[in-house]
Structure 1
Amino acid sequence: MTPRHQRTLGRRKLLLTLGGAAVALPAAAALAPHALAGQSGEGGSGTKAAASLPLTIVNNNGSFDNASVHVYVVGNADGRQVRLTPDGTLAPIDLADNGADGFTDYAISLSGNETTLSLPHMSG
C-alpha cells in the first residue's frame, strides 16, 4: 500500500481540506490575537489590513492547471458581508455584482507556480 503522504489528493479530499482550512483560519486568528496587533479594526471597502495572514497556494495536483483552480474567500467584517480581492483588499458583497443570471463569481484564479494571498482580519 502507498504511504499516506504519497497518495494522490482526490477532489473530495481537496474540498474537505479547503473546508477545514476555512474553519481553521478564523480560529487561528482568534487564538493568536498578537498576530493581529496594531490593526485599526477598519476592514472597509478598498482598505488593506494592517496585519494580515499570508497564505500561499500551490497547485501540485497534476490533474488541473492553475486556470482551472479557483479560491473563494468571503466573510464578515464590521457587521457586513465582504469578499477578498486578489490584491488583498476587502470589498463589500453587493447585489449589483450579480450578472443577468442572478449569480456572482468572486473567484480568485491561481497564477504562476504559487499564488500568495493576504488574508485580513475577518470572520468567515
Structure 2
Amino acid sequence: MTALRNRAEERAKYMPISISEDDIANVSGNAPSYLKEAALRWYIVLNGRPGFRGFGFVTRQRVRVTEVSLEPSVDDPEKISAKMVTELEVTPDMCNVDGILEQGCMCGLMDEARR
C-alpha cells in the first residue's frame, strides 16, 4: 500500500488539480482516500486542457466516479485489483433516432473508462 500511496503523491505533483475532501468523501468503497482522489483526478484530466471542447467533452463532463474499491484479483487471489464504478445519465443527445444509446457514444465512453 505504501507504493500505491507514493505513486498517488507523485501523480498529484504533475496533475495539480484541486479535489475537495467532500468530493473524496462522496466516493464510496473500501479504497483509501488517496486512491479515490487519484481516480477523481484522472477523470478531470480526461476532460482535456482548459478551454478544450472537443469530441465527447460534454458527455465526459457528466461522468461521475461513485465507487473505488480494492478486491482480490480474479486472476491471482494473492494480488489486489482496483474497481472503479462511474455513473452517467443517458440523455437524448447520446441516443439515436429510436431513443437508444448510440453505439458510437457507448464506444467513446468505454474507451475513456478503460484508461
Q: TM-score, normalised by structure 2?
A: 0.28
Give the number of the structure with larger relative contact order, counting CA–CA contacts within 8 Å between residues 6 or more apart.
Answer: 1
Larger strand share, 1 or 2? 1
TM-score, reference length from structure 1:
0.27
